C-alpha cells in the first residue's frame, strides 16, 4: 500500500485503491484544492479588498551591516521584529492563504532568530524567500540551505573596488563565496543589481561573476532617487525625483544603451532561458528610458503593477504598507486587530484604490513594480 500523507488523511482518500489510481486522484484533489484557494485570490482583483495574502514581505530588522550609498537604512539604530509578532503572523498564514514570505529589512540575516523564523513559516506550509546583502551567507550557509527556499543576494559591483564603493564594505569575494556554498546545497540564488552611475559599465562583469558563482538568475533594476518611504530617511519631503549622485548622467545614456545591445548579442542564451530575468527590451525601458525621464528628456511611463493586491509589507514594529514605496496604512499592535482586518481597513483600501486608479505619484517612477496576471495568481 502507498504511504499515506497528511493531505490524504485530511481529504479522505480511499487507501485500498491501486497505487496509480490513488496518485491520480490525489493529484486531482490537490489541483482542485489549489484552484479553490487561488480563486479566492482572484477575488482580490475585483475590488480594493483583500481576500487572501499570497505574499507577505517582512522587514525582520531595520538596521544593517552595510553602508550603501543608495540607501540610508544602515543609519538606523537596529530593531528586531519581536517573536510574538512573528508567531502572530505565522498563525494567520493559513487563513490568509499565504504562499510566500519574503524576509527582508534592513538586513534580515542580522535578526538573531532569522533561520528559526524561516522554519516557522516553512512548517506552516509557506515558502521562504530571503533577500540579503549576502555578508553573512558564507558564515551561515548551512542555515540558509536548511531553512530557505530561494535566496536573493544584492550584487552591486563587478569587482571588489566598485562593490566596496557602493556598499561601503569589503564584501565582494565574501558574498560570491557564500552564493557558491548555498548553490552547492541546491538552493536557487538570484542576484539583484541596482544599476547606478558607479556600476552601469560593469553589467557584463556582474553577469560573469554571477555565472562563475553558479547563480540561478540575475536581475537588474534602476536606482531609486526619490522615494521617501523606501531605503531609509534619505529625503525630508521629496515628492519628485532628484538627480542624486547615483543616477546616470544624460551623457552616459547612449553608452548604457550600447552596453545593453552588446549584452543582447553576447548573452542571447541567458536571456532566452530567463537566467537573465529581464529581456533586453525591458532593460532598455527600466534603465535607459527611466534615466532619460529622470533628466526630463521624456516622460515617465507608469509601470504595470498590482503588488498591493496580493502582498503587503510588515515593518519591524508592525507598521503596514501596501508595498515598499507607498506610505503606511496601519500598524499591527500587540493584542490588536489581526492582519486580515488591518489590511482591509479604510486607509488600506483607499491606498489600494489610489494606486490602482493612477493617483499615486510614487508609481510613476517606481523602480520595482510587480505585476501578476490571473494565470500567475492561480499558480501562486
Ligand X SMILES: C[S@@+](CC[C@H](N)C(=O)[O-])C[C@H]1O[C@@H](n2cnc3c(N)ncnc32)[C@H](O)[C@@H]1O
- What residues line the site for ligand SF4 (CB under 6 A)? 64, 66, 68, 71, 73-74, 105-107, 133, 303, 305, 307-308, 323, 325-326, 355, 360, 362-363, 366, 368-369
Of these, 57, 60, 71, 182, which contacts ligand X (CB under 6 A)? Answer: 71
The contacts found for 85-90 with CB under 8 angstroms, 24 or more apart, are 85/314, 85/318, 85/332, 85/334, 86/58, 86/117, 86/120, 87/120, 88/332, 88/338, 88/339, 89/56, 89/58, 89/314, 89/339, 90/120, 90/121, 90/124, 90/126
Which H or E element spans position 42?
Answer: helix 19-43
Rounded-to-10 torsion of CA 247, 194, 78, 317: 100
Q: What is the number of alpha carbons within 13 Å of residue 251 lying toward its C-beta?
A: 0
Asked if 157 touches ligand X (CB under 6 A), the answer is no
Which is nearer to ligand X, 38 or 70 (by Cβ)?
70
Binding-site partner at residue 132 among ligand SF4, ligand X, none, CB < 5 to 8 Å by type? ligand X
Nearer residue to ligand X within complex by CB, 92 or 216: 216
Place of cell 484557494: 37
Tell me if 107 contacts ligand X by CB under 6 A.
Answer: yes
Alpha-carbon span 181 to 143, nearest angstrom: 11
Identified binder of ligand X from the candidate list 97, 98, 104, 306, rule CB under 6 A: 104
Q: Which span sits near ligand X by CB under 6 A: 80-88, 117-125, 126-134, 174-182?
A: 126-134
Residue 86 binds ligand X, judged by CB under 6 A: no
Stretch that binds ligand X, among 131-139, 312-320, 336-344, 352-360 (CB under 6 A): 131-139
Which CB, 25 or 78, lies closer to ligand SF4?
78
Q: What angle do CA 9, 11, 17 make, to 5 degrees?
A: 75
β-pairing, 311-314 with 55-59? parallel
Contact between 114 and ligand X per CB under 6 A: no
Which residue, 221 or 326, is less far from ligand SF4 as judged by CB? 326
Contacts of 145 (CB under 8 A, 6+ apart): 182, 185, 186, 187
d(CA 248, CA 225): 11
Q: Which is nearer to ligand X, 68 or 120 (CB)?
A: 68
Q: Which entry of ligand X, ligand SF4, none binds 175, CB below 5 to 8 A by partner kind?
A: none
Going through the chain in order, the beta strands assigned E by DSSP cover 55-59, 100-104, 127-132, 150-154, 189-195, 217-222, 311-314, 319-321, 330-331
**Shortest gap between Cβ of 194 and ligand X (angstroms)?**
4
CB of 36 to ligand SF4, least distance (A): 28
Residues in region 214-243 near ligand X by CB under 6 A? 223-224, 231
User: Does position 199 bind ligand X by CB under 6 A?
Assistant: no
Judged by CB under 6 A, does residue 61 bind ligand X? Answer: no
Q: Which residues bind ligand X (CB under 6 A)?
A: 64, 68, 70-71, 73, 104-105, 107, 131-133, 154, 192, 194, 223-224, 231, 367
Amino acid at each position: 500500500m502507498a504511504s499515506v500523507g497528511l493531505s490524504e488523511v485530511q481529504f479522505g482518500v480511499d487507501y485500498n485503491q491501486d497505487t496509480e489510481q490513488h496518485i491520480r486522484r490525489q493529484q486531482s484533489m490537490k489541483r482542485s484544492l489549489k484552484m479553490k484557494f487561488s480563486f479566492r485570490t482572484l477575488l482580490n482583483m475585483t475590488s480594493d479588498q483583500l481576500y487572501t495574502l499570497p505574499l507577505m514581505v517582512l522587514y525582520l530588522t531595520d538596521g544593517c551591516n552595510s553602508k550603501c550609498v543608495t540607501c540610508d537604512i544602515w543609519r538606523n539604530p537596529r530593531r528586531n521584529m519581536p517573536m510574538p509578532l512573528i508567531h502572530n503572523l505565522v498563525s494567520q498564514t493559513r487563513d490568509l492563504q499565504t504562499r510566500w514570505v519574503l524576509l527582508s529589512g534592513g538586513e534580515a540575516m542580522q535578526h538573531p532568530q532569522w533561520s528559526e523564523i524561516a522554519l516557522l513559516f516553512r512548517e506552516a506550509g509557506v515558502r521562504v524567500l530571503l533577500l540579503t546583502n549576502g555578508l553573512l551567507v558564507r558564515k551561515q550557509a548551512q542555515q540558509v540551505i536548511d531553512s530557505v527556499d530561494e535566496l536573493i543576494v544584492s550584487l552591486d559591483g563587478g569587482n571588489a573596488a566598485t562593490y566596496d564603493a557602493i556598499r561601503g564594505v569589503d564584501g565582494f569575494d565574501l558574498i560570491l563565496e557564500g552564493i557558491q556554498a548555498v548553490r552547492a546545497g541546491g538552493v536557487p540564488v538570484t542576484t539583484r543589481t541596482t544599476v547606478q552611475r558607479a556600476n552601469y559599465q560593469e553589467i557584463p562583469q556582474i553577469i560573469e561573476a554571477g555565472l562563475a558563482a553558479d547563480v540561478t538568475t540575475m536581475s537588474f533594476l534602476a536606482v531609486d532617487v526619490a522615494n521617501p518611504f523606501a531605503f531609509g530617511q534619505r529625503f525630508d519631503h521629496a515628492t519628485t525625483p532628484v538627480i542624486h549622485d547615483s543616477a546616470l548622467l544624460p551623457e552616459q545614456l547612449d553608452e548604457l544603451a550600447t552596453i545593453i545591445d552588446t549584452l543582447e548579442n553576447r548573452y542571447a542564451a541567458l536571456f532566452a532561458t530567463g537566467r537573465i530575468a529581464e529581456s533586453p527590451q525591458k532593460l532598455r525601458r527600466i534603465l535607459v528610458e527611466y534615466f532619460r525621464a529622470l533628466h526630463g528628456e521624456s516622460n515617465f511611463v507608469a509601470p504595470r503593477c498590482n503588488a498591493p493586491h496580493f502582498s503587503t509589507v510588515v515593518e519591524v514594529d508592525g507598521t503596514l504598507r501596501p508595498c515598499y514605496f507607498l506610505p503606511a496604512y496601519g500598524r499591527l499592535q500587540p493584542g490588536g486587530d489581526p492582519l486580515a482586518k488591518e489590511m482591509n481597513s479604510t486607509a488600506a483600501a483607499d491606498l489600494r484604490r489610489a494606486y490602482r486608479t493612477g493617483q499615486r505619484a510614487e508609481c510613476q517612477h517606481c523602480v520595482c513594480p510587480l505585476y501578476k496576471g490571473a494565470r500567475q495568481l492561480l499558480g501562486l
